[in-house]
């Protein structure tokens, strides 16, 4: 059997049969009612080639309950059985009526199916700490109902050679009662850093409103909005002085607390509440390049750098240049200003007059 082709009309469902090019809904004169599955007889889940989606080899594989113990997670690959029930059927091939649930299944010793036997064994193990020995009473354990479970989540099978080589450990006992899923309060940002939870103030609420508005216009995820709102409250609580503006250097300190500083910079910059006190990288680079020049030449180059970096409104007027332009021009000028100094970048080329 090969994977069925897709219907040439709707492009969504597989073809009705291998010899056709359409599904039953798109057949000329249709839509037609598909026939029942020729394997299981289901008439409401037709897939292709006379089979339903559960029986067809190349249909999307769904997940369903185990046919033996009703555990959720069985697939068509193992004939709708979990791994434990496959071993149960191999060990107990006899099919009869279970003495507890009265359903026909593969029964083991005592006449119990695997679901009733396991539920009784779990009930006995849960009270084993009270009495050293308690007989298995399957009927009493299943009298008030049964607890279903997920498939293939029991004990891992260990090969015999590994069991022989493994040293014996202490006996394992199950706890008398089921433990809570969350035994302790969730680990919040404040508890991880040992600080009190940042309080909400009128100013922090106004700034969080700016965050929500910025997030809605830029399509932020919910997790990013929550983290940015938390970072905004922390920034307000750590602000020094009554100033209305926030320093960019203070915002960057949030990175040391596992908080994102880039969204805060974007929100404050858009609202006009950011005072950028960061030193541009081009300034530090320029200071390193001219650090060994004479003081007079150093002062002249600084005036030239200020005109290029910030522009000049007085004659000779000049608009601000990009850092790349400043780096390029200084790299070409440095071999002439300091013939014995190494160039700042590899793009700097020495002139023939300075190398002779």
**Beta-bridge partners for 46:** 52
Domain locations in the chain? 1-60, 64-141, 200-275, 281-355
Kind of pairing, strands 104-106 and 246-247? Answer: unpaired
239 touches 246 (CB < 8 A) = yes
CA 263 to chain CA mean position, Å:
20
pLDDT given for residue 353 in this prediction: 40
pLDDT given for residue 64 in this prediction: 82
Positions in the chain short of pLDDT 70? 1, 125-134, 154-197, 241-242, 339-356
pLDDT given for residue 346 in this prediction: 40
Query: Residue 116, CB half-sphere, CA atoms under 13 Å: how many?
Result: 24
**How big is the CA angle at 214 (ends 209 and 215), to the nearest 5 degrees?**
95
DSSP 318: B
Among 43, 66, 48, 50, CA closest to 58: 48
pLDDT given for residue 153 in this prediction: 75
For residue 8, what are its two tokens? 């040439």
**Beta-bridge partners for 246:** 274
pLDDT given for residue 70 in this prediction: 85
**How big is the CA angle at 47 (ends 45 and 48), to the nearest 5 degrees?**
145
How many angstroms separate the Cα of 247 from the Cα of each of 67, 211, 252, 265? 65, 18, 9, 10
Distance CA 202, CA 10 (A): 57
Residues in the chain: 356
Report long-range pairs for 263-272 (Cβ below 8 Å, ≥24 apart). 263/211, 263/220, 263/224, 263/227, 263/228, 263/231, 264/228, 264/231, 264/232, 264/235, 266/214, 267/207, 267/210, 267/211, 267/214, 267/228, 267/232, 270/214, 271/210
Burial of 227 from C-beta contacts in 10 A (0-12 / 13-18 / 19+): middle
Distance CA 75, CA 78 (A): 6
pLDDT tens for residues 129-187?
555 556 777 888 888 788 777 887 765 555 555 555 555 556 555 555 555 555 555 56
Phi, psi (5° rounding) for residue 64?
A: -145, -175
pLDDT given for residue 226 in this prediction: 86
Among 112, 115, 34, 107, CA closest to 72: 115
pLDDT tens for residues 65-85?
888 888 888 887 778 788 888
pTM exceeding 0.85: no
């Amino acid at each position: 059997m090969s994977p069925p082709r897709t219907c040439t009309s709707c492009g969504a469902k597989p073809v009705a049969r291998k010899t056709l090019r359409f599904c039953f809904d798109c057949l000329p004169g249709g839509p037609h009612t598909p026939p029942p599955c020729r394997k299981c007889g289901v008439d409401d889940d037709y897939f292709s080639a006379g089979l339903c989606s559960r029986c067809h080899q190349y249909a999307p594989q769904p997940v369903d309950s185990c046919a033996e113990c009703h555990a959720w997670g069985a697939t068509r690959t193992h004939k709708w059985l979990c791994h434990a029930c496959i071993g149960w059927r191999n060990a107990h091939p006899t099919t009869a009526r279970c003495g507890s649930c009265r359903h026909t299944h593969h029964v083991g010793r005592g006449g119990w199916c695997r679901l009733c036997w396991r539920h009784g064994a779990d009930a006995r193990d849960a009270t084993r700490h009270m009495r050293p020995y308690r007989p298995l009473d399957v009927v009493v354990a299943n009298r008030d109902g049964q607890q279903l479970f997920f498939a293939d989540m029991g004990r891992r099978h260990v090969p015999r050679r590994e069991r022989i080589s493994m040293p014996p450990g202490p006996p394992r006992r199950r706890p008398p009662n089921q433990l809570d899923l969350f035994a302790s309060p969730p680990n919040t940002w404040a508890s991880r850093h040992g600080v009190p939870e940042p309080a909400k103030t009128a100013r922090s609420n106004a700034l969080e409103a700016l965050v929500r508005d910025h997030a809605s216009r830029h399509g932020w995820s919910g997790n990013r909005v929550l983290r940015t709102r938390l970072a905004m409250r922390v920034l307000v609580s750590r602000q020094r002085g009554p100033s209305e503006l926030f320093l960019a250097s203070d915002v960057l300190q949030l990175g040391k607390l596992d908080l994102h500083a880039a969204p805060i910079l974007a929100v404050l910059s858009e609202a006009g509440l950011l005072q950028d006190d960061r030193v541009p990288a081009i300034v530090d680079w320029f200071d390193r390049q001219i650090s060994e020049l004479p003081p007079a030449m150093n002062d002249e180059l600084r005036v030239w750098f200020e005109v290029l970096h910030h522009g000049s409104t007085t004659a000779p007027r000049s608009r601000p240049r990009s850092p790349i332009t400043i780096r390029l021009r200084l790299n070409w000028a440095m071999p002439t200003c300091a013939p014995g100094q190494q160039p700042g970048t590899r793009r700097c080329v020495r002139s023939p007059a300075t190398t002779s």
